[in-house]
Amino acid sequence: MQTENPAVGARSVPQAMRATRVRYFVLAMLFIATTINYADRASISIAGSAMQKDFGINAVSLGYIFSAFGWSYVIAQLPGGWLLDRFGSRRVYGVSIFMWSLFTLMQGTIGFLAGAAAIAAMFSLRFFVGIAEAPSFPANSRIVAAWFPANERGTAAAIFNSAQYAATVIFAPLMAWLVHSFGWHSVFIVMGVLGIAMALAWRVFMKDPKDHPRVNRAEIEYIEAGGGLVDLDREQKGAAKPQGPDMRHIKQLLRSRMLMGVYLAQYCINALTYFFISWFPVYLVQARGMSILKAGFVASIPAVCGFLGGILGGAISDALLSRGVSLSVARKVPIVLGMLLSMSMVICNYVDAQGIVVAVMALAFFGKGLGALGWAVNSDTAPKEIAGLSGALMNTFGNLSSITTPIAVGYIVGHTGSFNGALVFVGLHGLVACICYVFMVGKIERVKLDPAH
C-alpha cells in the first residue's frame, strides 16, 4: 500500500495510487533483453559439440572459440560505460542489442568454411558479440536507477540479474532441439533473428521516463520522490561530457585489500558461471554419453537451481541484517556456504549414474547462486563518488574468467582426454573464493577516497 511521502506533499497518496506502472513494463523489457543476451552467450555451448565434429577441431581450439567472447567483453567494459554516460542508456543499449544479434546471426553462415578458416571466423564473430554486449549490464543498472525509486531498486536489479538463469531454462532446450532437428547453424540464425526483433521492439517501446507516452505525472513524481534519477540522460545532454575514468581513482581502488579480495572472489565465482555456459553441455555429451537434445534439457536443471540459490542467498543475507548481524557476517555467510557447496561438482568424478551427476551439478550451481552476492558487496563498498567505476572494475576482474576458464578446460580435456581434471580445476575456484572472503576481505565497509591522491 502506498504511503505519504513528505517530499511530494500531502496530496502524494492519491496521486501515487493513481500512478501508472510503466516502470514494470520497462523492467520486463530489461529482463527479456538480458535473457536473450545470456542465451546468445551460451548458444555456442549447445552448438559446440556438433560444430566441433563438423569442423574437425580439437578441444583446445573449441576452448579458444569459447573464450573469444570474454576477451572483447572485458576489454570493452570501461569504453562501454563511457558510451552510456555520453550518449544515454536507451540509445546505446538499442544499438548494442541489434549489433550482438547481427553477429550471432552471422555465426550461422560460416558452414561453408573449414579448418583454420572456420575457427578464425567463429572466433572473430564471438569476439564482436563480446564488444556489442559490453554495455548491457551497466545499461541495466542505469535504466533501473532512472525508472525506479530507491526502495524498489534492489528487487528490480535482482529480477534483471535472474535472467542469466532464465536464459538457460528457456533457451537451452530450444537450442538443443534446433541442433538435433536442423543442425547447429540454425541455433545462431534463430537467436540472431529473435535478437533483431527485440532491438526493433526496444526502439519502438523504450523511452526515457519523462518522454514515455504512457507514463503519467503521478508515476514520475513517485519515482523522483524516492530518489529515481528520471533526468539522468537529459542531464548528460547539457553537462560536460565525461572524458573517461580517472586513473588515480582506479589506483586507489586497487590499493584496497578489501576490494581486491572482493574482485578476486568475483573472478572465481564467475569461473563457475562460465563453465556452465560454455563446457557443461559438451561435458554431458562427451563425458556422460547424452544426446545433444537430452543435454540441452538437462542443462536447464542446474540453471533452475542457480536461480533458486540466488534468490535464497539474498534472502538469507537480508534476514541476517534484519536480526542485527553485522554487514560483514551477513554478506559472507551465504557466500562462503555457497562456494563450499559449489565444490561438490568434483564428486562427479567418482560416480557413473547420469541422474546422480545431474543432481550433483544442480547442487553445485545452487551453491554458486547462493554465493553470488558480489554486486551487493560492491554496493556496500564502492566509494559514492565513483560507484559506477568501482562496479566496472569489479566486472572487469570477474569476467577475466570468461577468457581463462574456457581455455584452461580446453587444454585439460585436450591433453588428458578426460573432464576429471577440469572439474577439479573449476571446483577449486569455489575454495579460493572462500579464502578471499574469510582471510582477505576483512570488514566490509564503504571505501573513502583520498582526495590527496
Residue the block writes with cell 535478437: 195
Q: Which residues fall within 8 angstroms of residue 75, CB to CB, at 6 or more apart? A: 131
**Which residues of the chain, if any, have pLDDT below 50?**
1-16, 236-239, 242
Q: Are 428 and 416 contacting, i.e. CB atoms less than 8 angstroms apart?
A: no
Average pLDDT of every residue of the chain: 80
Q: What is the pLDDT of residues 411-442, one digit of tens each?
A: 898 889 889 999 999 999 999 999 999 999 98
Residue the block writes with cell 496521486: 15
Q: What is the pLDDT of residues 236-287, one digit of tens each?
A: 444 455 455 567 777 888 889 999 999 999 999 989 988 887 788 888 888 8
Residue the block writes with cell 563438423: 54
Which CATH architecture fits 245-453? Up-down Bundle (1.20)
Looking at residue 168, its pLDDT comes to: 77
Alpha-carbon gap, residue 343 to 400, rounded angstroms: 20
Alpha-carbon gap, residue 18 to 26, rounded angstroms: 18
Read off the pTM.
0.71
Looking at residue 385, its pLDDT comes to: 61
The identity of residue 450, as a single letter, is D
Location of each CATH 1.20.1250.20 domain in the chain: 17-241, 245-453
Looking at residue 421, its pLDDT comes to: 92
Q: Are 259 and 381 contacting, i.e. CB atoms less than 8 angstroms apart?
A: yes
CA angle 180, 407, 175 (to 5 degrees): 20
Looking at residue 152, its pLDDT comes to: 63
Looking at residue 263, its pLDDT comes to: 93
Looking at residue 15, its pLDDT comes to: 42
The identity of residue 154, as a single letter, is G
Looking at residue 422, its pLDDT comes to: 92
Looking at residue 226, its pLDDT comes to: 67
Among 237, 245, 199, residue whose Cα is nearest residue 88: 237
Q: What is the pLDDT of residues 53-80, one digit of tens each?
A: 777 777 777 777 777 888 888 888 878 7
Q: Is the dihedral of CA 306, 310, 312, 317 positive or negative?
A: positive
Residue the block writes with cell 543498472: 141
Alpha-carbon gap, residue 180 to 163, rounded angstroms: 25
Name the region of 289 (left: φ>0; alpha: ψ -120 to 50; beta: rest): left
Which CATH architecture fits 17-241? Up-down Bundle (1.20)
